[in-house]
Structure 1
Amino acid sequence: MTYRYRIYPSLEQETRMLSWLETCRSVYNYALRERKDWIGSRKCQIDRCSLQSEYIIPADAPYPGYYPQKKNLTQAKKVLPHLKDVHSQVLQDVLGRVDASFEAMRQRGHGFPRFKKFGQYRSFLFPQFKTSPVQGNQIKLPKIGWVPITLHRPIPDDFDIKTVRVVRKHSGWYVVLCIQADVSIPEVPPHGHSIGIDVGLEYFLSTSDGEQIARPRFFNKLHRKLELLQRCLKRKQKRSNQRAKLIQRIGRVHEQIAASRLDWQFKLAHHLCDQAQTIFAEDLDFRIMAKGMLGKHTLDAGLGQFLNVVLPWVCFKRGVYYVKVDPNGTSQECPDCGARVKKDLSVRIHECHECGSVKPRDVASGQVINARGLSGVQIASGRDLSGFQVTDARQDRTKLEYFKSNLEKPALYA
């Protein structure tokens, strides 16, 4: 688990931490440039030259991976003495970030890592502690000293602090404590009352029980204030103190928007856990929705944050079973008779031509999600939970394969 607390460093400590961030940024950019030059020297073909100038690196030169760069860091400290001021493990974690970004590019299809501009490197990590650095209302950071901390919630007993990340935000300095305990938590089985939830933009959430929750517009509430501040920012001289102060004010407004959104989503997740012990949701990729014409509203609602981060974590804490189901055709199917009722996005009322069922479209979709979830759990576990009859053999096999793959994962990551 991770806990975040506010810290209040002195002027001397803050100056030192800012210099650490800039040193980490320079190490990050140098390591990234070293890898890009090695890759660029291998892209040029034998019979032609590259359109860009590339460094000529010997063919037998090894790839500058994590461990070679980590070894060269010791030699770099002899040439650049200011690197010795930063904690050694903090600099090693910077090289780990570079390596993780290249792994993400290869495995998950992310773009090529970018260089960090001035002020874009905002955190550094202490990856190891022998004893707890928190004593009373202070935390001891290596080479920085004792820093006052606001423990707004106590650290649980029998939990050890593994890592401490120092984060710089526009509102101040924070520490993120990663705590761990040697306990085994059993997976939550499906039990109790179940609901299916359908998320959208007209209504943020609609449940299979008929409850519909409107989408709060967090960005629109402070849109005018941001517009005025950014208009003033355009007239400020670059690299001036007034421009830096205005950028900090704008950042605080964005933090206020994000904090209000996260607080509302946590309260909504607890509200859902009070109603049911089993929750089913659609397995959607909201990155596609964020690129469409309604992308601004999708990002403002934070649908992906709610379904992928907030709700699984609250369900894990509350002992509620949470799993995602196949999203294909949930809004085109009648929850009462199973008939296929085609309708576009402009049609917000579900009207079945077979059984005559009439209800809101999102509520009908939530009931279909709930039925799919219960049928999938029933097929995978062999228990009768819902009485829902699957009549299509092809649909039966598809749901069996899908839910077996989901039931193998812990409920927290489902």
Structure 2
Amino acid sequence: MLTMTYEYKLQPTAEQMTVIEHTLDVCRSVWNFALRQRKDWCSSRRSPVNACSLRSEYIISANEPFPSYHKQAKQLTDAKSQYPHLKTVHSQVLQQVLRTLDRAWDDMKARGFGFPRFKNKYRMRSFVFPQLGKEPVKDDAIKFPKFGWIKWRQSRPIPEGFEVKQARIVRKASGYFVMLSLQLNVAIPQPMPQGHPRGLDLGFDKFVATSDGEEIKRPRFLKTKQRQLKLLQRRLKNKQNGSNNRHKLNQKIARLHQRISDHRKDWHFKLAHHLCEGAGMIFVEDINFVSWQRGMLSRHSADAGFGQFVHRLEWVCWKTDTYFAKVNKDGTSQTCPNCGAHTGKKTLEIRVHHCDECGYQTTRDVAASQEIRNRGLTAVGQTVVENVCGLDATGSISHDALVGTERSRNPDSRGLGIPHFKDIKRSEMA
């Protein structure tokens, strides 16, 4: 089953915008009520059985079950008779709000996340229609339950054969958007290891360094707009809470943040396509980039968006039939990619790699990317079933057959640690 998400800009009328905002407000009230119910249940179980707080304790009957999704969904149905405004929103939309809260609650326990947060009118920005009617899409409009036809800007056509499964309406600083989930009942095989291998090393000094010797500087998306953003935020503290002037200024700040995010996203995709050109295999380090945002360089890490880039690179690799894999990150800057010798720990001030064993010298980031490439070739060497570099043998090819027993000591390897794939045509590798 192939699933894709396409995003389009909506062009609603003033009346339709009022309906969308009303739907967001009702979804926010349902979210906050359901979250409050769950937190109250947990608070009632926090006190020991033999002692109570000196101030107060929230008491719920011991026989009261936990307010799970199914229990809260049944309560939501019963609440519509008492609160008529709940009937103005499609029932499946409110059910999806409870499902989203249930997933956030499970992630809190399973993945160590914090408590889900209560939503104000700025934090609740989207809602989902899990089902649409028959033929909901036209060239200039899309139909939603209880909304009717809303004009949109169809920036790209929906691929033939794909079915629209669900739609998410999102409010952004620049307007309203719809994200369509498209499905096609077909199985597409994953790309196989083939062609020219390319290792990538991500970092703060250079955003990415490739095993081919290319180094790309890290752009400063936030820094270019930081002065303008700082001036707007300085004016915000003098505005009264809840006033129209504060709301207008918040909208200006949100539009500036979205402009920064759009520039980052556009650059990530262009770079991903550039790296996939001429490559049959892409290897990156398996890094938890969340930890990078907890140190003194947290702002620079968030500005670069390393995790977002790797996720988008994986998607572009799949789209361009390029094999993508992650390798072990430990010791990539301490191993010589030419001979495999351990060069010792390098401090961040050392930006040049020099091996005392073989004399190989290059920049630190390029050496790390070449070691990442070598580790990736070691991993795929156990599963490759095609001829590599004109070898006569077929089937499972070992690491020695791919890169040689002594890596780049062969003069044909050109100091990169593997036979030079760039001069070999894809037709020769089939």
Q: 1:152 aligns with which of 151, 155, 163?
A: 155
CA distance in 1, matches of 2:284, 2:132: 39
Residues 1:383 and 2:397 aligned together: yes
1:19: Cα distance to partner?
1.3
Residues 1:139 and 2:155 aligned together: no
Alignment correspondent of 1:403: none
CA distance in 2, matches of 1:317, 1:51: 62
1:175-223 residue CA offsets vs partner (Å, 9 max, x unmatched):
0000001111011110001010101011100001101111111111111
Q: Which has the higher helix share?
A: 1
Matches within 5 A, 1:119-138: 119-138=122-141
Alignment correspondent of 2:88: 85
The change in CA–CA distance for 1:35 and 1:318 in structure 2 (over 3 A counts) is same
Q: For structure 1, which segment, 257-266 or 11-20, has the greater mean C-alpha deviation from structure 2 after superposition?
A: 11-20
1:350-375 residue CA offsets vs partner (Å, 9 max, x unmatched):
01111111100000001100000001
CA distance in 1, matches of 2:223, 2:278: 30
1:323 counterpart SS class:
strand
CA distance in 2, matches of 1:301, 1:267: 14
1:206 counterpart SS class:
strand
1:311: Cα distance to partner?
0.3
CA distance in 2, matches of 1:86, 1:141: 12
Alignment correspondent of 1:332: 334
2:379 counterpart SS class:
helix
| Kept in 2: contact 1:38–1:63 (CA 8 A) | yes
1:389: Cα distance to partner?
4.1
Alignment correspondent of 1:220: 223
1:32-90 residue CA offsets vs partner (Å, 9 max, x unmatched):
11111112212211110146644322221111100011111111000101000010000
RMSD: 1.5
1:112-149 residue CA offsets vs partner (Å, 9 max, x unmatched):
11211232111010001242311120011111111110
Matches within 5 A, 1:296-307: 296-307=299-310
1:380: Cα distance to partner?
4.7
| Kept in 2: contact 1:371–1:388 (CA 8 A) | no
| Kept in 2: contact 1:332–1:340 (CA 8 A) | yes
1:368-392 residue CA offsets vs partner (Å, 9 max, x unmatched):
000000011113553246234499x
Unaligned runs of 5+ in 1: 392-414
Alignment correspondent of 2:324: 322
CA distance in 2, matches of 1:38, 1:217: 46
Q: For structure 1, which segment, 19-28 or 316-325, has the greater mean C-alpha deviation from structure 2 after superposition?
A: 19-28
| Kept in 1: contact 2:132–2:145 (CA 8 A) | no
Q: 2:67 aligns with which of 56, 64, 67?
A: 64
| Kept in 2: contact 1:374–1:388 (CA 8 A) | no
Alignment correspondent of 2:314: 312
2:290 counterpart SS class:
helix
Q: Give the letter for the 2:397 counterpart.
A: R
Q: For structure 1, which segment, 46-55 or 258-267, has the greater mean C-alpha deviation from structure 2 after superposition?
A: 46-55
Identity rate of aligned residues, in percent?
50
Alignment correspondent of 1:398: none
The change in CA–CA distance for 1:46 and 1:216 in structure 2 (over 3 A counts) is same
Alignment correspondent of 1:170: 173
CA distance in 2, matches of 1:105, 1:112: 6
| Kept in 1: contact 2:200–2:282 (CA 8 A) | yes
Unaligned runs of 5+ in 2: 385-395, 408-430
Matches within 5 A, 1:196-211: 196-211=199-214
CA distance in 2, matches of 1:35, 1:28: 11
Q: For structure 1, which segment, 111-120 or 139-148, has the greater mean C-alpha deviation from structure 2 after superposition?
A: 111-120
Alignment correspondent of 2:392: none
1:222 counterpart SS class:
helix
Q: TM-score, normalised by structure 1?
A: 0.92
Q: TM-score, normalised by structure 2?
A: 0.88
Alignment correspondent of 1:412: none
The structure 1 segments of at least 4 consecutive aligned residues displaced by more than 6 Å after TM superposition are none
| Kept in 2: contact 1:191–1:321 (CA 8 A) | yes
